[in-house]
Homo-oligomer: A and B are copies of this chain.
Amino acid sequence: MVEAQANRGGHRRLICKLQSIANLAEDEMRDVQLLPLSLKSVPADTQIVRDGERPRECCLIVEGFVCRFKMLSDGRRQIMSFHIPGDIPDLQSLHLKILDHSIAAVGVPAILAFIQHQDLHDITRQHAGIAAALWRDTLIDAAIFREWMVGLGRRAAIRRFAHLVCEMALRMKAVGLADHQTYDFPVTQSDLGDALGLSTVHVNRVLQEIRKKRLLEFKGSTITIRDWKGLEELGQFDPIYLHQNSAAGMLDG
């Protein structure tokens, strides 16, 4: 069955993600695999949950690309994070009843696996290791926010973009979604602007500049890194803040 396959996909993605941030015991992994998942697919650029809601479930990304964002009263938007398969972007709703931002699929349709809060509470009560791993995941989330704050507050536009490209490369790599120097990043220049705190026009000019420096290509929705060292330097990128289990041996081969 298609559904059974996708379900396995959901558990596989979750396991893979958890292993990239923690070391789970055998029985813990087994129970993660038994978590009831409720699958749903959403079209590209569609909201999944909305600012102000009180969700009773968390959403695990199985396929696709997701962002969290807040709208301002004048219609402008700030994207606070991008999420990839294996992430649970609203894990915080487990302990914060009201959602203080929205979540949406970006660029391409997404397949999501919803997990009841109740089931997550149960599994964390039974397995201290899983509780710790999930807590840790939300802490890494926060660490990424902090790093973005540095960019938004203190880094020039082109550095911000370079930094984002490096970050996504490592995160995609950690869950097996990036090969040597290429990965999929299906966002528009307008999305990028909302994430980097820039106007679309300026994003466009930044992209041209970075292409001219031959640091990367960005055709269609594919990013191809041509000069990892250069990108890292331009973005002042130091992967420590990602707190990955193995932050070594990356794309610079």
Contacts and interface: CB of A to CB of B under 8 A. Distances in A.
Interface of A: 52, 68, 70, 72-73, 76-78, 80, 92, 95-98, 100-101, 125, 128, 131-132, 135-136, 138-143, 145-150, 152-155, 196-197, 236, 240-241, 243
B141 A142 contact: yes
A42 to B, nearest CB: 22
A174 B138 CA distance: 24
Task: List the 5 shortest-distance A-B pairs measured between CB atoms, nearest first.
Answer: A153-B197, A152-B152, A142-B142, A145-B145, A95-B136
A92 B139 contact: yes
A78 B132 contact: no
B100 A143 contact: yes
A95 B132 CA distance: 7
B98 A243 contact: yes
A236 B71 CA distance: 11
A23 B92 CA distance: 18
A51 to B, nearest CB: 9
Given A92-B139, A128-B125, A143-B92, A150 B98 contact: no
